[in-house]
Amino acid sequence: MRYHRLPDGDGYRLIADDGDAAYDLTAVKPRLNGFTELAAAANVADTRVDKLAETLAETAPTVDREALADSALPIVPDEVWAAGVTYEISEEAREAESGMPEMYVQVYEAERPEIFFKATPSRTVGPDESVGIRADSAWDVPEPELGIVLYDGEIVGYTVGNDMSSRSIEGENPLYLPQAKVYDKCCSLGPCIASAESVGDPHELTMTMEISRDGETLYEGETSTGEMDRSCEELVEYWCDHNSVPQNGVLLTGTSLVPDEGFTLRPDDEVRIEIDRIGELVNTVVEV
């Protein structure tokens, strides 16, 4: 199933979409107004998220599936973290931007992956909201990534992520990574959460990205999560190891598509990222 969070006045409704119909789970259980609450209930009942949702869907009213176009941020994670240099193309890109390129080769080939803090809830946006580029940066790119959704340390689903980055700040000095990665509107997630069961193997998903400006397509790219040099389980293990991770968190798994050197985002650009079996995340760009 895919789980959407639809605005409803001052609150939200949790909608489960099985591909044929969309079920309003909040209408059956008013406290289930988001995926986190569903994951928590499934955890207490010691059952799968989809199994609980399927039970509730038996008596839930349906909603027009066209309403899913209005989906909000599908989960408000306590923390978003990210992995770096997990694809060969990202290793090459970070070498190209950096005055210390050898360090990225060492990370790509090392046993320990790069895991870094990415965003707080206030810095995370959802579908059709604006992602940010820093006014003090000269080279800014979106980074399309598969997002792992965890509840209580267990993988419960996947979403589409955009790890917005300042390549000019990051390339100037590796110690500037937090400023290049963590700022207002630096991360977007959505449009939904696909359960781990419905996604199956997360290492064989097609991913595409399109960047357009004034109606003109400036970049198109396609790849597969099969190109990732690390497994999702490995990245989660390193994130959780010796670390008190939040009960409700998202881990982005690395950059799979990189626009040509010299390309930089501008305000009002549109970024479309789609991952097979999950959905398409669309955001416009604003300067922050």
Q: How many Cβ atoms from other residues are within 10 Å of residue 162's Cβ?
A: 25
DSSP 3-state of 114: strand
* 184 against 171, higher pLDDT: 184
Q: What is the pLDDT of residue 174?
A: 84
Is the per-residue pLDDT at 96 higher than 90? no
Q: What is the pLDDT of residue 91?
A: 46
Is the per-residue pLDDT at 169 higher than 80? yes
Q: What is the pLDDT of residue 255?
A: 86
d(CA 108, CA 87) in angstroms, rounded, equals: 8
d(CA 27, CA 14) in angstroms, rounded, equals: 9
Query: How much is the mean pLDDT over the chain?
Result: 93
Beta-strand pair 154-163/11-17: unpaired
d(CA 181, CA 252) in angstroms, rounded, equals: 12
Sequence-distant (≥ 6) Cβ neighbours of residue 286 within 8 angstroms: 130, 131, 132, 133, 185, 267, 268
Contact 5, 14 (CB under 8 A): yes
Confidence of residue 229 (pLDDT cuts 50, 70, 90): confident
If you average pLDDT over residues 196-202, what whole number do you get? 97
What single string gives the DSSP state of each residue in 134-157?
-TT-S-EE--EEEEEEEETTEEEE
Residue 188 DSSP label:
E
d(CA 249, CA 150) in angstroms, rounded, equals: 5
What's the pLDDT tens digit per position in 108-137? 677 888 999 999 999 999 999 999 999 999
If you average pLDDT over residues 145-164, what whole number do you get? 97
Confidence of residue 161 (pLDDT cuts 50, 70, 90): very high
Is the per-residue pLDDT at 209 higher than 70? yes
- What percent of the chain lies above the pLDDT cut of 90? 84
Q: What is the pLDDT of residue 84?
A: 85
Contact 146, 158 (CB under 8 A): yes
Identify the weakest region by mean pLDDT among 108-112, 142-146, 249-253: 108-112
Q: What is the pLDDT of residue 87?
A: 79
Is the per-residue pLDDT at 235 higher than 60? yes
Confidence of residue 248 (pLDDT cuts 50, 70, 90): very high
Contact 113, 90 (CB under 8 A): no
DSSP 3-state of 162: strand
d(CA 87, CA 256) in angstroms, rounded, equals: 6
Query: pTM of the prediction?
Result: 0.93
What's the pLDDT tens digit per position in 56-85? 999 999 999 999 999 999 999 999 999 988
Sequence-distant (≥ 6) Cβ neighbours of residue 212 within 8 angstroms: 218, 269, 270, 272
Contact 174, 98 (CB under 8 A): yes
Contact 88, 105 (CB under 8 A): no
Is the per-residue pLDDT at 205 higher than 70? yes
Confidence of residue 88 (pLDDT cuts 50, 70, 90): confident
Residue 217 one-letter amino acid: T
Q: What is the pLDDT of residue 262?
A: 86
